Structure 1
């Protein structure tokens, strides 16, 4: 192992950096800018059983470092991802973490089972920040029992590690984290976007076509850091930190909070080279801070957090 490499259940990553789902598509837009093989892993766009056209426009609102998105899980569906997107990504020496979403438990099960068969998919990321149509639109991730049931049932249809991505839009994220850990999750990813809204002063109407949207950007980091530390203190499985990461210092701060690896999300929009730049800056910054290796930092923080 190199000084940058980290271990996640079922995966050995060359470094702890990966793009977050939804902010990197399926890699095509970035592959002409740098070799995607340098990434620790690549989390592709959340994929549903059937294609989705997403929410009506406008889907994005930018205000400085703050971003609201209301994409609505637009994706080509499982069949197209298996036939086109994953074969395209097979040219790169990088493990694929396949993000999966759905509207019913059965949709999730079918999508997880199908996508797990792709040779270059090495883990499944379960996006549970989705409306459960059988529960009146309540997000799967807001109720510990529902989240645990979904985790258990998806775990039963795949041989791959299952990483569950948690929503921050809850009163007690630790309760949800512990429930999905008990249900068999191999790792946790947090946080997803925070629900927000904005209005047009002239029309007095919501700006976004989907009315509400997911808040991301640099300011979200402080919420993510707090939740990563809370969850890392309460569970035994690894935590992958995401939310507001833009710089190498953000990466290291997230790992000090308790993350084993990190995902970079909205920063890819403003700077398509951000993942590459952070990976290259990591050993230099580690030298300045007298850090021997990422694994040593993880072990040090785990000992401190667990007491």
Structure 2
């Protein structure tokens, strides 16, 4: 019997296919294309403590093999998410994962504390809350001159440590490929109590408008995702999976069943689909069906049989 089931930090999923933050809204936007119950999980749009309007000017620019985005974490804020989105998400038979960002340490801690309190309250009423947190440590730290938490391990350590202290929810930390040492960063996350890591986030990149003689983006740089980054993401997942004992969720240019198998063989416990959702609106359903067919064809009964074999 074929089983695609996996377990990430105590959260059971029917398959390892998770929709990535920032590419799937809060799930309802894709309901007419993919039944949420088909998916292993959905990571909601990145949340901050307070609502954000996002960046001005151009936000998206297509490249030869990927996508540049400068959306800027536009979101309704944690309180609005808990009030307006969570009830709908928890009706679906899929894991609900909240992605949390912040401009400073205090915002991270307060946002996570609110979500944790809400989950505990809902549990007393026999209602589902957020199943898992994905801590995005690639957001600007404005109190430190615009540095990013996700670049320097010691700067990131305090965020992970303080967030871990205010939540009992399963905690996955999303790592930046721009980190000075991503393996060292992952090891630190495990030591500070993270239940898993997800990687990679987008690469810092650039596009110039040669007619206007300036950057296409108001913030000069943007985040590169899509097939162009997949080989690098695969290498980083392989390195991190060998260095930590907590689950690793692979992200980066995944757009086919073959890609999913590669990341699994590199050690990923699950994967996230991002940019491909914009290319194929039925990406989730297509990949779930394709993965099951591959397993039947190759006589693989469980992905554990091939996980981490490289």
- TM tier, smaller: over 0.9
What TM-score results when the alignment is normalised by the length of structure 2? 0.94
Contact 1:61 1:208 in 2 (8 A): no
Q: Secondary structure at the match of 2:131?
A: strand
- Number of equivalent positions: 301
Any conservation in 2 of the 1:152–1:184 contact (CA below 8 Å)? Answer: yes
SS of 1:180 mapped into structure 2: helix
Residue 72 of structure 1 pairs with residue 81 of structure 2: no
The answer for the alignment partner of 2:266 in structure 1 is: 257
Aligned to 2:293: 284
Aligned partners of 2:2 and 2:292 also within 8 Å: no
Give the equivalent residue in structure 2 for 1:162.
171
Correspondence for 1:139 among 140, 148, 157: 148
Check 1:171–1:145 CA distance in 2 against 1; reply closer, same or farther (3 A cut).
Answer: closer
**Mapping of 1:266-285 within 5 angstroms?**
266-285=275-294
Give structure 2 stretches of 5+ with no counterpart.
120-127
2:157 matched to which residue of 1?
Answer: 148
Confirm or deny: 8 A CA contact 2:2 2:301 kept in the other structure.
Answer: no
Separation (CA, whole Å) in 1 of partners of 2:306 and 2:166: 34
Aligned residue runs from structure 1 range 34-183, under 5 A? 34-116=34-116, 117-118=118-119, 119-183=128-192
In structure 2, C-alpha distance between the alignment counterparts of 1:146 and 1:10, rounded to whole Å: 28
- Distance in 1 separating the partners of 2:220 and 2:297: 46
Where 1:121 maps in the other structure, the secondary structure is coil
Mean CA deviation greater in 13-22 or 60-69: 60-69
1:2 Cα deviation (Å)?
5.8
Alpha-carbon shift at residue 28 of structure 1 (Å): 1.8
Provide TM-score, normalisation by structure 1.
0.95
Corresponding residue SS for 1:233: helix
Q: Distance in 2 between matches of 1:272 and 1:17?
A: 15
Distance, in Å, in 1 between the alignment partners of 2:263 and 2:20 is 14
**1:34 shift after superposition:** 2.2
Q: Residue 243 of structure 2 corresponds to which residue in structure 1?
A: 234
Q: Offset at 1:147? A: 1.1
* CA deviation after TM superposition for structure 1 residue 65, in Å: 2.5
Is contact 1:10-1:160 (8 Å) kept? no
Contact 1:239 1:259 in 2 (8 A): yes
Q: CA deviation at 1:29?
A: 1.2
CA contact (8 A) 1:2 1:14 kept: no
- Determine the structure 2 residue equivalent to 1:202: 211
Deviation at 1:80, TM superposition (A): 0.7
**RMSD over aligned Cα atoms:** 1.3
Does the CA-based 8 Å contact 1:103-1:131 persist in structure 2? yes
- How far did residue 93 of structure 1 move? 1.1
Equivalent position to 2:226, from 217, 220, 223:
217
Runs of 4+ in 1 over 4 A off after TM superposition: none
Match of 1:31 in 2: 31
Shift of residue 63 of structure 1? 2.3
Asked if structure 1 preserves the Cα contact closer than 8 Å seen for 2:34 and 2:284, the reply is no
Deviation at 1:66, TM superposition (A): 1.8
1:133 Cα offset (Å): 1.3
Could you tell me whether the CA contact under 8 Å between 1:10 and 1:123 is conserved in 2? no
